[in-house]
Structure 1
Amino acid sequence: MFCGHCGSSTSATPESRRRPDPRPGDTTSLGPGFRRSGVVSVPVGLEGEAAELRKGVAAGVAATQAESVADADAGAADDAGAADDVAVADPAAERPRFVLRFGTGEVRVVFGTGLIGRRPLPQPGESFDHLVTIDDPGRSVSKTHLEYGAHDGTLWIADRFSANGTVVRRADDVIRCEPGRRYLVASGTVVELGQQSFTVA
C-alpha cells in the first residue's frame, strides 16, 4: 500500500484523492517561493522504525488480551457477572495513539483518523475521530489543510489540496507532499503547514 522508498501511497487514484475545501477561500497564499530552496523528494527512511512500531503495538495488544483473559477467569470464580464486564474491551484502547506537538505550544493526543486546519470540515459522507483546530492569525493554514490516519502502527498524513501545501521534514530529508497522497511520518518528524508546524512524538 505504501512505497518502500518514500513511504507514500502506491494505490492512490484520482477517485481516492480528496477534493478542495468547498467553502470560500480566505487563506493567505504565501506564493510558490516562500519556502527555503533545496526542497527535494528523498526517501524518508521509515522502514526500520515502522517495523519497531508494529512490534511494539503487537506486543501491547497481546499483553492487554492476556491480562483481560486472566482477569475474566479470576472473576468467573467469584462472580459470573464481573467476568462479563471484564471481557468487554474498549476498541479505541487498542488503536495506536500519537502525540502532536504544535509550534503554538498546544499538544494533542490523537488516534484513528482526523483533519487538521483552521476550521476543519469533513466532506459529505466522511467521518473522522478528531477535528484538530490550529490557531493561525496569519491564515497561512487552510481551513481543512491536512488529513491523517494510522497504518500498521505508523501515522500517515495527506495534504487536502491546501493553498500553501504541506512539507515533511525529518533530519536532512525534506519532502513537499503531493496533494491527496499519503505519506508515512514516524516519531520525530516535523510536519509544516504554511507557517505553522507540529512534531510527531
Structure 2
Amino acid sequence: MTCRVCGAELAEGTLFCGKCGSSVTASRVRPPEVADPRPSDTSIVERLPKPAIAGRFPADELDEDGLPATQAMPVVPIETAAPLPRRSYTLSFSTGETVEVLGSGLVGRRPITQPGEHVDQLVVVSDPARSVSKTHLEFGLEGDDLWICDRYSGNGTVARPLGDVARQCEAGRRYRVTRGTRVEIGDQWFDVS
C-alpha cells in the first residue's frame, strides 16, 4: 500500500503516513457545503518564512525534498502487540485556556458547525487582533491518534512537532499531531500534551 499524497510505502493497517502525516483511511475532508454566512473579519497576518535547514544537516541525512530524513518506526505484528490504554490529549492555548479533547471539535473565535455536521466540542479562542478565523480548524480522534484539519482559514495552520520541521497544513486535509506539537493558528497557538 502506498500513501496517496506522497507515495511512501505503508504497512497494511496504517492509519497515517509516517512521511507526510496525512490520513490513509480517511478521504480528504470536503470544503464546507455552505459558506459561513457571517462576513469575514479575519485580519490576515504575514506568513512565517520557511525555516532554513540547508547547512544544518549533512547532505546524506536529507531526503529527496531536502528535509531531514527520519527513521521509520519498527512494525510490530498485530497479534503480538499488547493493547495500549486509550490516551487522552490536552490542548493548552497561548491565551491561557486548556481544553481536554473529548472527541471531535472545532476551534476558532466563534466556531459553528456546517448543516448536518456534529462535533463534541466548540473551542473559542480569544483573539482581539482577529488573526484566528471564526471557524479556524477541526480536530478529532482516530483510534488513539489526534488529528487536526484546517477549515479553510484566512491565515492557515502550521504544525510544529517537537524537534522536527514545521509543516504548513493544507486546508481540508487531516494531519496527525503528536504530544509536544505546537499548532499555530494566526497569531495564536496551542500545544498538544
Same fold, TM-score > 0.5, yes or no = yes
Higher relative contact order (CA 8 A, sep 6+): 1
- 2:166 aligned with 1:152, yes or no? no
Partner of 2:132: 141
Partner of 1:5: 19
Unaligned runs of 5+ residues in structure 2 are 1-14, 54-64
- Measured in 2, the distance between the counterparts of 1:156 and 1:197 equals 16
Shift of 1:43: 8.3
- Measured in 2, the distance between the counterparts of 1:139 and 1:198 equals 16
* Number of aligned positions between the proteins: 158
- 2:46 aligned with 1:21, yes or no? no
| Deviations, residues 107-156 of structure 1 (Å, cap 9, x unaligned) | 11122100000000000000000000000000000000000011120100
Which residue identity lines up with residue 40 of structure 2 in the other structure?
A: G
- Measured in 2, the distance between the counterparts of 1:113 and 1:176 equals 21
Whichever structure has more helix as a proportion of its residues is: 1
Which residue identity lines up with residue 98 of structure 1 in the other structure?
A: Y
Partner of 1:35: 48
- Measured in 1, the distance between the counterparts of 2:153 and 2:48 equals 15
2:95 aligned counterpart, secondary structure: coil
Higher Rg: 1
Instruction: Output aligned runs, 1:165-176, within 5 Å.
Output: 165-170=156-161, 171-176=163-168
Answer whether contact 1:2 1:9 (CA < 8 A) is retained. yes
Partner of 1:100: 91
What percent identity do the matched residue pairs reach?
47
Unaligned runs of 5+ residues in structure 1 are 62-95
Partner of 2:173: 181
- Measured in 1, the distance between the counterparts of 2:111 and 2:21 equals 25
Partner of 2:152: 161
Shift of 1:22: 3.7
Shift of 1:160: 0.0
CA 1:44–1:157 in structure 2 vs 1: closer, same or farther (change >3 Å)?
farther
Partner of 2:9: none
- Measured in 2, the distance between the counterparts of 1:163 and 1:130 equals 22
TM-score of the two chains, using structure 2 as the length reference: 0.71
Answer whether contact 1:39 1:174 (CA < 8 A) is retained. no
TM-score of the two chains, using structure 1 as the length reference: 0.69
1:60 aligned counterpart, secondary structure: coil
Shift of 1:38: 2.9
- Measured in 2, the distance between the counterparts of 1:44 and 1:129 equals 37
| Deviations, residues 59-114 of structure 1 (Å, cap 9, x unaligned) | 436xxxxxxxxxxxxxxxxxxxxxxxxxxxxxxxxxx4310011111111122100
- Measured in 2, the distance between the counterparts of 1:150 and 1:99 equals 12
Instruction: Output aligned runs, 1:77-88, within 5 Å.
Output: none
1:125 aligned counterpart, secondary structure: coil
